[in-house]
Structure 1
Amino acid sequence: MKIINDFATSPNNKVAFTIFKHEEQPNSLVIILPGAGYTSQAPLLHYSCGIYFSKGYDVLQVNYNYPREFIANLSEDDFYSDVESVLKKALEDSTYSNFVFIAKSMGTIALSHFITKPEFNNAKSIWLTPLIKRNDVYNALLNLKTKGLCIVGGIDPTYDSSKFNDIRTNKNIESILIEGTNHNLEFDNDVLKSIEAISNIMNNVVKF
């Protein structure tokens, strides 16, 4: 395995990224879009990376890691530009033709934008606690034309039962509601139940 740590420069920011590469470059890449405070090293994304690397995919982690005060003033266009700068740099001279996106929370804002791009029109996508109260994320899931997996927590403040039920009508998406889990898809004050929930989620990622 080869690990590349680098950064890309957008008009407004420098964005770090990490690529985990196999010795012989495959044609498949998984792209990780973390949450605002939920990094690529947090359980759901860390284990998802391991699953896809073991499947033969290279792994690209977009590590924007914005400070809280920075996020408050971050526009959608600047966020898209930051992610796009990483994708352009990481994918230049590559031969990838098969893509999977895995996004958590804030990362689903970027995913809702990039999943419609021609270069990713066949990409599969995993949406972990998507911000479905936002119209862009909601509409992206409602109209998703490729295979998707959407997992939400029942007591997550970003969960909306009406919009989630609408998303469930999209036959391209496997939609999973985990009752009693929070925005991290864990149970408050119950470590063992949280570990079990994460294990079940990873089983769904493996099957996906």
Structure 2
Amino acid sequence: MKIKLRKEQYNDIPYNYFDNESDKVCFMFSGTGYTYEKPLLYYSTELMLELGYDVVQVCYTFDSQQFEQEPEAISAMVYNAANPIVEFILSTKSYTEAVYIGKSLGTLPITDFYMQRVSSVPSRYVLLTPLLSLDHVMKNLLGKQAFLAIGTADPHFSKERLELLSSFELTIVENADHSLEIKNHTVESVILCQSLLTELTTYLQ
């Protein structure tokens, strides 16, 4: 990373903070096993710093039995872990813009909470492999706007559901899995990541 991270903790949840001395902030919520060292989130972090944002990576962890709850309860669990950090960071500066980036599990607090309320800070949303197979997620996405990326080999992919999201900036990748990679095609997966970051840059500028 070009800017050294600070490892912090708030409300007993650790987070990584990249201080770019900016008036714009990006909050990042990882997947269950897709951490910030994985390609999409690592390079998304680099991109947000390059675009001049402060970056906050929320580092929640959950026990396997906590995922035995109903989907709405799991979403609330992730939100309740992440939101105290979000509110704290927003209270530390007069931010003029916020971007929320989520991967898989990390898209749930975005779709179910942050996209549903009017924020005092103008906000945009990036959903990487959201859980479109969950009915409540689709209900919360209808009529909203965001950048959404998903592969056709992702178990949560649904052509019919994506057709309902006409207000979204959609990136649909043929044969890409839930990691937005193409199995046994390493070079193609790297190129895919580059293409996705280019599209995300266009969306954010």
Q: Which amino acid aligns with 2:149?
A: I
Q: Answer yes or no: is the 8 Å Cα contact 2:132–2:156 preserved in 1.
A: yes
Answer yes or no: is 1:163 the counterpart of 2:165: no
Equivalent position SS for 2:164: helix
What residue number does 2:175 align with?
180
Deviation at 1:139, TM superposition (A): 2.6
Q: Which amino acid aligns with 2:143?
A: N
Q: Which amino acid aligns with 2:159?
A: S
Residue 2 and residue 176 in structure 1: after superposition, are their counterparts in 2 closer, same or farther (change >3 A)? closer
Answer yes or no: is 1:16 the counterpart of 2:14: yes
Q: Answer yes or no: is the 8 Å Cα contact 1:114–1:120 preserved in 2.
A: no
What residue number does 2:62 align with?
66
- Segments of 5+ residues of structure 1 without an aligned counterpart are none
TM-score by length of 1: 0.87
Answer yes or no: is 1:79 the counterpart of 2:78: yes
Aligned equivalents of 1:37, 1:99: Cα separation in 2: 25
Aligned equivalents of 2:139, 2:82: Cα separation in 1: 20
Residue 52 and residue 103 in structure 1: after superposition, are their counterparts in 2 closer, same or farther (change >3 A)? same
Deviation at 1:92, TM superposition (A): 2.4
How many residues are matched?
197
Aligned equivalents of 1:120, 1:142: Cα separation in 2: 22
What residue number does 1:28 align with?
24
Aligned equivalents of 1:205, 1:4: Cα separation in 2: 25
Once the two structures are superposed, residues 173-203 of structure 1 have per-residue CA deviations (whole angstroms, 9 ceiling, x without a partner) of: 2112101010001011111111111111111
Q: Answer yes or no: is the 8 Å Cα contact 1:156–1:183 preserved in 2.
A: yes
Equivalent position SS for 1:166: coil
Q: Answer yes or no: is the 8 Å Cα contact 2:8–2:14 preserved in 1.
A: yes
Q: Answer yes or no: is the 8 Å Cα contact 1:18–1:60 preserved in 2.
A: yes
Equivalent position SS for 1:106: helix
Once the two structures are superposed, residues 90-136 of structure 1 have per-residue CA deviations (whole angstroms, 9 ceiling, x without a partner) of: 22222112011111111111101112232267311111111111233
Q: Answer yes or no: is the 8 Å Cα contact 2:24–2:96 preserved in 1.
A: yes
What residue number does 1:118 align with?
118
Q: Which amino acid aligns with 2:131?
A: L
- Segments of 5+ residues of structure 2 without an aligned counterpart are none
What residue number does 2:44 align with?
48
Residue 93 and residue 128 in structure 1: after superposition, are their counterparts in 2 closer, same or farther (change >3 A)? same
What residue number does 1:103 align with?
102
RMSD: 1.8
Q: Within 5 Å, give how 1:132-143 maps onto structure 2.
A: 132-143=132-143
Once the two structures are superposed, residues 9-39 of structure 1 have per-residue CA deviations (whole angstroms, 9 ceiling, x without a partner) of: 2xxxx321111002xx321001111111111
Aligned equivalents of 1:96, 1:64: Cα separation in 2: 24
Aligned equivalents of 1:188, 1:67: Cα separation in 2: 28
Q: Which runs of 4+ in 1 moved over 4 A?
A: none
Deviation at 1:76, TM superposition (A): 3.2
What residue number does 1:192 align with?
187
